[in-house]
Amino acid sequence: MTEAAAATLARDRTLNLFAKPMTYVTGKGGVGKTTIAAAMALLAADQRRRVLVCELGSDGHLARLFGRTIDHEPTSVSPFVDAANFSAEEGLVATLTSVLPVERIIRAVVQNRVLQMFMETAPSVREAVLLDALGRHFQAKKYDNIIVDLPASGHAVTMLGVPQMIMKLMRRGPVAKKAEALEAEIFDPARAQILLVALPEALPVQETIELSQKLVAATRMGQVGIVLNSSAPHLVDKKEQALLDKIKQEAAQGSELRRHALHLLQAAERDEKALRELAQATGLPVFRLPRIEDANGFQDILGIAKAALASYVA
């Protein structure tokens, strides 16, 4: 293991993931960001923090993890933890009601097919409504921490830039004021941060580096670090490396022992390369979470992920 990678891991162990009340979790699709967001919520709850973990109009990944229905309104999924999957339609009702407080009429308007088509096709309208739903819960100050499972890479960058885009297009009026308030509250770098999730594979590592760079340009929020998900159980030290090399050279071709040694060496090299590239390109600390095997359902997965994260949190 290189000195640079060792220094990066040492820095990880001093991090406080919950120092700021809002954390946005994002990364390339399929890297496990929803699992990381849910595990973070459970870990915060262990510290007796009141937590909301939420998705923004997703297909219901949190519901599958927690094994229960999760809708627009937060629902309890564990002691100290609420979960929500904000709906653009329900969010639009609340957004419009805050301007024209006649909910019955507004619901009739929102159900109009033409408006629904507009919501789906007009640039960033859906994202703005979802962010407004998030903003209302942040303003309510019910939770110590809100953990947001953002969409995958490109969509996440677009979503985080929506308030600024609206402020450029509409310099006056209630919509402009609402966008300004969202930018000042839920994207305030003093109160919000971003956590990236990657896999130790070439394409996810490269996309994570590019995402980090885009986020620097698109938002004022800082990035707290990178979770390198599905890593090998541990990095191989020099003594282990020597032993595995010896097995590789001396064990019989095709033997189970030799195959296992080769697998461990390849996984260690892969993780070392990913650690080095992510740390050098982004300057961020990297959290290694081991690949979860032999888990008995989603609850096991969440428990293992939470325990792995706990080893890094101050």
pLDDT in the model for residue 199: 94
Reported as a single tens digit per residue, the pLDDT across 114-125 is 445 544 545 577
Residue 289, in any domain of the structure: no
Q: Answer yes or no: is 103 within a domain.
A: yes
Give tens-digit pLDDT for 244-277.
676 666 666 666 666 666 667 777 788 889 989 9
Domain tally, the chain = 1
Which CATH number belongs to the domain containing residue 57 in this structure? 3.40.50.300
Helices (H), 57-102: 61-66, 88-99
Name the one residue in this structure whose structure tokens are 């919509």.
175
Tokens of 190: 């003093």
Tens-digit pLDDT profile for residues 61-71: 999 999 999 99
- Look at residue 184 and tell me if it is in a domain: yes
Q: What is the pLDDT of residue 97?
A: 60
Give the chain's mean pLDDT: 81
For the cut 90, the answer to whether the pLDDT of residue 303 exceeds it is: no
Are the beta carbons of 286 and 20 closer than 8 angstroms? Answer: no
Quick check: is 192 in a domain? yes
Domain residue limits at 182: 20-234+294-307
In a domain, residue 272? The reply is no
Provide the percentage of residues in the chain whose pLDDT is more than 70. 72
Numbers of helices and strands, H then E, in the chain: 14, 8
Residue 251 inside a domain? The answer is no
Residue 276 belongs to a domain: no
What token pair was written down for 210? 């590019």
Whether 233 has a pLDDT exceeding 70, the answer reads no
Question: Do 20 and 192 touch, CB atoms closer than 8 A?
Answer: yes
Predicted confidence at residue 53, as pLDDT, reads: 98
User: Which pLDDT does position 209 carry in this prediction?
Assistant: 97
What does the block give as tokens for 109?
């308007």
Examine residue 15 and state whether it is found in any structural domain, yes or no.
Answer: no
CA-based nearest residue to 9, from 312, 314, 280, 313: 312
Predicted confidence band of residue 238 (pLDDT cuts 50, 70, 90):
low
Per-residue pLDDT tens digits for 162-203 = 888 777 777 777 777 878 888 889 999 999 999 999 999 999
State the residue for tokens 């620097």: 216
At 207, list the tokens. 């996309």
pTM of this prediction exceeds 0.85: no
Inform me whether the pLDDT recorded for 12 exceeds 90.
no
Interatomic CA distance for residues 74 and 83, integer angstroms: 5
Percent of the chain with pLDDT over 90: 45
| Confidence at 41, pLDDT banded by 50, 70, 90 | very high
